Chain A
Amino acid sequence: MSGAGGVRVQREAFDLGAELEAFEAATSGAGAMVSFTGIVRDDAGGRLDRMEIEHYPGMTERALEKIRADAMKRWDLAGALIVHRHGALRPGEWIMMVATAARHRKAAFAAAEFLMDYLKSRAPFWKKEYTSDGAEWVAAKEEDEAALTRW
Chain B
Amino acid sequence: MIDVLYFAWVRERIGKPREAVETQATTVADLVEELKKREPRYAAAFADVSALRVAVDQELADFSTPLSGAREVAFFPPMTGG
Interface residues, chain A, with chain B CB atoms under 8 Å away: 38, 54, 56, 58-59, 62, 84, 95-96, 116, 119-128, 137-140, 145
Contact of A123 among B8, B74, B81 (CB under 8 A): B81
Q: Is the CB of B55 within 8 A of A140?
A: no
Q: Is the CB of A119 within 8 A of B82?
A: yes
Could you tell me the distance between the alpha carbons of A139 and B78 in the complex, rounded to whole angstroms? 8
Could you tell me the distance between the alpha carbons of A137 and B13 in the complex, rounded to whole angstroms? 13
Could you tell me the distance between the alpha carbons of A23 and B36 in the complex, rounded to whole angstroms? 48
Please, which residues of chain A bring their CB within 8 A of the CB of B58? 56, 58-59, 62
Q: Is the CB of A121 within 8 A of B81?
A: yes
Q: Is the CB of B77 within 8 A of A140?
A: yes
Q: Is the CB of A124 within 8 A of B77?
A: no
Q: Is the CB of A127 within 8 A of B80?
A: yes
Q: Is the CB of B77 within 8 A of A56?
A: no
Which single residue of chain A is at the shortest CB-CB distance from B17?
A54
Q: Is the CB of A138 within 8 A of B80?
A: yes
Give 9 new A-B contacts, CB below 8 A, not counting A56-B76, A125-B79, A137-B9.
A62-B59, A116-B82, A120-B82, A121-B78, A121-B79, A122-B81, A123-B79, A124-B81, A126-B76
Q: Is the CB of B76 within 8 A of A96?
A: no
Can you show 27 pairs from A to B with CB atoms below 8 A apart? A56-B58, A56-B76, A58-B58, A59-B58, A59-B74, A84-B81, A96-B81, A119-B82, A121-B78, A121-B80, A122-B79, A122-B81, A123-B81, A124-B55, A124-B76, A124-B81, A125-B79, A125-B80, A125-B82, A126-B80, A127-B80, A128-B8, A137-B77, A139-B78, A139-B80, A140-B77, A140-B80
